[in-house]
Structure 1
Amino acid sequence: MTALAVLDIAGTTVDERGAVYTALEGAVVAAGASPSTTDIQRWMGADKKEAITGLLEQGKGRVPNPSVVESAFTDFHARLDAAYRSRPPQPLPGVPEAIAALRAADIKVALTTGFDRSVVDGLLATLGWTTGVLDAVVCVDDVPAGRPAPYMIFRAMERTGVRAVADVVVAGDTRRDLEAGHNAGAGTVVGVLTGGYDATDLGAVRHTHLLPSVADLPELLGVPVSAATPGTSSVE
């Protein structure tokens, strides 16, 4: 029985039009690297500071100075903030209804993300997802390591009181999302095709299901979307 759905944010539940990866590329290019599209894609779903470090190391052939990483991370934040102000992120079609349906069926819903808390707070406020919509939100700076480590999933379980990982469904649009779900031992690991990977690339990673969207998750779990009612729990 599913007790908790752990969902990624960008590209999985939220359409931010790839702004995060445009900002990431711009920041590392400004810092002296020349990443390819494939290089950027390799870091999808990762801790963004870790991604910047990895891309700069690859581009310069040496471990970057921490001050350079911090400067590029600050630049990334500024670029992403500007992008979000210009074109505010929106929920992907059918996702709010799917989240409400899951919670109406007594399935808790948590978001996890490679963003740090300062980005996520503003993003959720823009979406109107600050209270009554989710049961928990776990950011990469809440745990010792980001994906593919399973720690954000375990922290979501801790915050929602779910004890059996077999009762957890993990869904995301990147390879790291699926790897984290597998590393956590989640009972259901779902790849969704609303992000930067197609079915061939995402399907190459260990998973239990591939779906067009998180909007299809209630049907997979036998939950009628028509049963959806607004939740009452607040985001932690």
Structure 2
Amino acid sequence: MNHTDRTNHTPHGNDMTGLTDIRLVVLDMAGTTVADGGLVERAFEAAAAELGVEPGSPDHTDKLDYVRATMGESKISVFRHLFGTEELARRGNAAFEKAYGELVGEGLTEPVPGAREAIEELREDGRTVVLTTGFARVTQDAILDALGWRDLVPLTLCPADAGGRGRPFPDMALEAFVRTKAAEDVRQMAVVGDTSYDVLSGVRAGAGLVAGVLTGAHGEDALRASGAGHVLASVAELPALLRGVG
């Protein structure tokens, strides 16, 4: 079934009206345009070990469950919640980013099928595309380098680029709106991601289109519950949706 046909209208103005007027597209990376392949969980394992969390223990299970539930959130925020103190959070986050960067360096990162082509189509249609992430800048840059995506889009953002607040806050989407000046109204912005936090950030930013994709962490029910007006099989379907083909 084509997921673009299963569109619910929501009170956020997140419907088919004016989709062709979308000028700015804010896309998440891991799980949306970049295949995760379990790398987040593997990097968390390394961070947990660094902080003395015993593998297989109830504490480890609880923390891993929280990591899964908060996919899309700024990783330093996740570690603050898990470990309580700023010192421990920073140690855990540093270990996580180091481990993730090493996995990327081993060639374990690849794009979601059709993602690069979708981004290129969006740009050919005259839309500005921005890539966002909950990772630190050093990790984001490592992913971009591994994929050869440095010149693919005019702007990439991580939480530090938007004052330190990642998703579910709207800051990165709004930072993209302000920096690119691609749109005159936030309703001319689309926000797309694979997690509830991606979706919620788009809703809070007032984006005219907020869509979830099923290539990452969360399923259709969770994405719609957070405010997604559209749920797509993958980001590859986005250009057609924005052309009104849907």
Q: What range is the shorter-chain TM-score in?
A: 0.7 to 0.9
Residue 85 of structure 1 and its aligned partner are, at CA, apart by: 2.2
1:52, 1:72 within 8 Å by CA — same for their partners in 2? yes
SS at the partner of 1:149?
coil
8 Å CA contact 2:119–2:129 kept in 1: the answer is yes
Judge which range, 82-91 or 202-211, deviates more.
Answer: 82-91
Q: CA deviation at 1:223?
A: 7.2
Determine the C-alpha separation between the residues in 1 that align with 2:196 and 2:45.
19
Match of 1:95 among 90, 107, 115: 115
In structure 1, what is the Cα distance between the partners aligned to 2:45 and 2:192?
Answer: 25
In the alignment, is residue 136 of structure 1 matched against residue 152 of structure 2? Answer: no
Q: Are residue 15 (structure 1) and residue 35 (structure 2) matched?
A: yes
Distance (Å, rounded) in 1 between the aligned partners of 2:155 and 2:50? 35
Contact persistence 1:105–1:223 (CA under 8 A)? no
Cα separation, 2, equivalents of 1:16 and 1:126: 13
The answer for the alignment partner of 2:72 in structure 1 is 45
Q: TM-score, normalised to structure 2's length?
A: 0.83
Percent identity (aligned): 36
1:205 paired residue number: 226
Tell me the TM-score normalised to structure 1 length.
Answer: 0.86
Q: 3-state DSSP class of the match of 2:60?
A: coil
Partners of 1:159 and 1:223 lie apart in 2 by: 27
CA RMSD of aligned residues (A): 1.7
Tell me the distance in 2 between the aligned counterparts of 1:11 and 1:203. Answer: 17
1:34 is matched with 60
Q: Distance in 2 between matches of 1:29 and 1:185?
A: 40
Contact 1:24 1:52 in 2 (8 A): no
One-letter code of the match for 2:142? G
Gaps of 5+ in 2: 1-20, 54-58
Deviations 1:4-32 (A, max 9, x none): 11000000000131212321243135413
Distance 1:113 1:27 in 2: 19
Shift of residue 220, structure 1, vs aligned partner: 0.6
Distance 1:205 1:198 in 2: 11
CA contact 2:73–2:167 (8 Å) conserved in 1:
yes
Per-residue CA deviations over 1:68-105 (Å, capped at 9, x if unaligned) read: 22221221122112221233311111111111111011
Q: Is 1:122 equivalent to 2:142 in the alignment?
A: yes
Unaligned residue ranges in structure 1 (runs of 5+): 57-62, 225-236
CA contact (8 A) 1:14 1:90 kept: yes
Bigger relative contact order (CA 8 A; separation at least 6): 2
Q: Is the 8 A contact 1:190 1:209 kept in 2?
A: yes
8 Å contact from structure 1 (residues 16, 84) kept in 2: no
- The answer to whether residue 244 in structure 2 is matched with residue 218 in structure 1 is no
1:208 positional shift: 1.1
